[in-house]
Amino acid sequence: MSTPSSPEQPATADKPMGKVVNAGPSFLDAVATIADRKNAGSAATSPVSDADGLGLAAAPNSKKSNTVSVASAPVMRAAVAGAGSMFALQVFSKLITFFCNQLLLRQVTPEIFGIASIQLELLVSTLLFLAREPIRLAVLRVPALDENGKPIQQTLQRLVNLAWLPPLVGVPLAVVLYLYYTTSSMAVLSLPGYQTAVMLYALGSMCDLLSEPFYTMCFALMKFKARAAVEGAALTASCLTALYLTWGGDENGSLGIVAFGFARLAFGMTFLVGFVVAYLHAIRGTDVKVDMVVPRTVTVEVKENKRTFMFDSELLVVAWSFLKQSLVKHVLTEGDKIILSMFYTPYHQGVYAVIFNYGSIVARIVFLPLEDAARLLFSRMPKHELRTKGRSLLEIAIKFHTTLGLFAIVFGTQYSRALLLLLAGRQWGAADLGWSGAPTALAAYCWFIPILGVNGITEAFVTSVAGPNDLAEQNVWLIGGAAVFAGTAFAAYPLGATGLVIANAVHLLVRIVWSFKFIKRTVGVRTLKEQIDRVRMGLGISWSDSATPARGVIYGMGLAYLVAGWTRGTYFNNGHSEVYASAQFLAVGVGIASMGLFLVIVKDFRFALAIWDLVTSGQIVL
């Protein structure tokens, strides 16, 4: 069962086409309200102005040292703490959905699993993304606390008023989506319980939107850990509901699809109630009254002129600019699901859903928290620091993704079939399924993981610091990338799910090319003098060296790939059962992977140390 949460899931990253804008609940909305006001400019009114004009904290003057703080101390601490909460949530969500999926895969048909995971989740992502994401991005950089950490009442009211727009917009949008889903596809309309499931998915999504004012208030008050607790509870309720109703379904599977619908409704209701409770807890001991969450007019004085409004016009302009871009990005982000829903059978949708759930484990657990933290740090970093601290952070982040991707390629491609045989059964892991089968598609997804990670971190930088002209140029590339994706998907259609993975990879490569062009002109490349100075300090590395695994690591992992391939043939051709051979083969793989991790630490110690320092102290050692 796909996680019945809102989409950002992100992006952002766990979406096959890359999470450009994290559409799900993000801890960024919490920590974005923290502003170090020392030497800061005015509050931000545009999401596309440069860093010096965002009302962000200017870094205090400090003596030169080999250790630099990536951002101001309060923001860094909040980012690291928030990333820790997000990481814990992603681990928990992956574990519970992983366990839930193993039970569901053996109880529901591939057709049921495909419709629930592809078509109905597309309904949820479309509704939440269009109704909520532009508003969240608009308020992302608006500080709601003063320099002493006290709530700014007027700012809180502005944010709350704006947070009521998602449910208002969501009602008509939900009606339109319901009518479309229940009249457009005759192939799925014949499935018993389908229309009921669509209605339940829409209602569950509306509960998510109704929680937005309480969500905004909680995180404006820096209660970002509430998100982990609330969504964890909602996810648990959803999984338990799906398991209870699915295992009680009848033979034709009609209750199976309805069970997914009730699971989505359970998630939404728990999410709403959870944030109401979290809001009441968050305002304890503050000057914020309970009725602050109620929308009311705000009066501000601008140049001795008073202006009264319900919705801040400046924030609405910002939200509108994001909405226009979100429409394009949503089509790109969900392009695979759109194509699957329109052209592929429910069976192939089920195969792709299984591959996505297994293949996106790294993206959900690791990529999304890192992208969220990076987006916050880049957006709060003064413009003059982007060419130094910003570049160093980018180098380390990209190197982390390429190193992690190397592990995915070496071990994921070799062990995909064994993993499917053990977890999902022979119907998913059989060797005779060909190019359109799950083993081949999962192996292809492993090659896609490093591309997904690099795209996520580079676009996190772009969305944080890009100006209007840059975003306009990016839109052109996004449209071009969409055309490339559509063409590649059409050409690779005979390959089934594998073809879609290939199309996604080609599409993200197009987006990465533009992101690197933007990064180069924004932060530049290291000059010869800079590299010589770093060599004198014993730390000399070029951009390419600092953004890719060390040469010794690449050679060692190449050898590991050959060893894994040889052992695969040995275990699967020794006459034992496929399940027994898979277990033996995976045990050997764990040992080889452990040696690979040790190799990274030995051959690239400075990189490992930088990651450790960033996680533990919020600093990068240069």
Give tens-digit pLDDT for 449-476.
999 989 988 988 888 888 878 888 888 8
Is residue 138 over pLDDT 90? no
Residues 6 or more apart in contact with residue 559 via CB below 8 angstroms? none
Q: How large is the average pLDDT for residues 264-284?
A: 93
CB atoms under 10 Å from CB of 351, counted, come to 25
Does 18 score more than 60 pLDDT?
no
Counting the structural domains of the chain, the total is 1
Average pLDDT over residues 220-225: 76
Of the pLDDT bands very low, low, confident and very high (cuts 50, 70, 90), residue 98 is confident
Q: pLDDT at residue 509 above 90?
A: yes
Q: How far is residue 606's CA from residue 403's CA, in Å, rounded to a whole number?
A: 14
Q: Which domain holds residue 124?
A: 10-56+66-523
CA–CA separation, 445 and 2 (whole Å):
17
| Residue 435 domain-assigned (yes or no) | yes
Across the range 323-329, mean pLDDT stands at 78
DSSP track, 338-403 = HHHHHHS-HHHHHHHHHHHHHHTHHIIIIIHHHHHHHHHHHHTS-GGGIIIIIHHHHHHHHHHHHH
* CA 558 to chain CA mean position, Å: 29
* 8 A C-beta contact, residue 4 and residue 240: no
Q: Which of 216-225, 250-259, 289-298, 574-583 has the lowest mean pLDDT?
A: 574-583
Nearest Cα to 224, choosing from 235, 216, 233, 236? 216
Section 313-338 average pLDDT: 82
Whole-number pLDDT of residue 537: 43
Q: Are 429 and 581 in contact (CB under 8 A)?
A: no
In sequence order, the 6+-apart residues with CB closer than 8 A to the CB of 414 are: 561, 564, 565, 568, 589
Residue 50: per-residue pLDDT: 33
570 in any annotated domain: no
pLDDT reading at 517 higher than 80: yes
Residue 578 — very low, low, confident or very high, per pLDDT cuts 50/70/90?
low
**Hey, which of 157-161, 186-190, 249-253 has the most confident mean pLDDT?**
157-161
Is residue 92 over pLDDT 70?
yes
pLDDT-based confidence at residue 212 (cuts at 50, 70, 90): very high
Indicate whether 429 pLDDT > 70: no
| pLDDT score at 211 | 94
**Is residue 476, in this structure, part of any structural domain at all?**
yes
Distances (CA, A) of 221 to 77, 172, 262, 287, 549: 15, 31, 32, 11, 40
For residue 606, being part of any structural domain is answered with: no
What pLDDT is stored for residue 123 in this prediction?
A: 95
Q: Are 356 and 98 in contact (CB under 8 A)?
A: no
Of 327 and 603, the structure prediction assigns the larger pLDDT to 327
The pLDDT tens digits of the residues spanning 105-135 come to: 878 877 888 899 999 999 999 999 999 888 8
- The answer as to whether 538 is a domain residue is no
Statement: residue 190 has pLDDT above 80:
no
At 302, which helix (H) or strand (E)? strand 298-302
Mean pLDDT of the chain: 73
Structure tokens at 145: 């606390």
Most confident region among 265-279, 330-344, 510-524 by mean pLDDT:
265-279
User: Residue 548 domain-assigned?
Assistant: no
- What confidence tier does 104 reach under pLDDT thresholds 50, 70, 90? confident
Expressed in angstroms, the distance from the first to the final Cα of the chain is 44
Report the range out of 234-243, 278-287, 554-563, 608-617 with the highest average pLDDT.
234-243
Separation of alpha carbons 132 and 139, rounded Å:
11
Among residues 199, 209, 285, 271, the alpha carbon closest in space to that of 237 is found at 271
Question: What is the per-residue pLDDT for 141?
Answer: 61
**Residue-wise pLDDT tens digits, 550-570:** 777 787 777 777 777 777 666
Residue 572 lies in a domain: no
At 530, the amino acid letter reads E
Q: Is residue 592 part of a domain?
A: no
Average pLDDT over residues 329-340: 84
Q: Look at the chain and count its residues.
A: 622
- What is the percentage of the chain residues whose pLDDT exceeds 90? 17
Confidence band, pLDDT 50/70/90 cuts, at residue 250: low
* Global pTM value: 0.68
Task: State the pLDDT at residue 613.
Answer: 64
Q: Read off the tokens for 209.
A: 């939107």
Q: What is the mean pLDDT of residues 331-343?
A: 85
The alpha helices in 468-527, defined as continuous H runs, are 468-491, 497-523
365-374: average pLDDT: 77
Report the percent of the chain where pLDDT is more than 70: 69
- Asked if pLDDT for residue 45 goes beyond 60, the answer is no
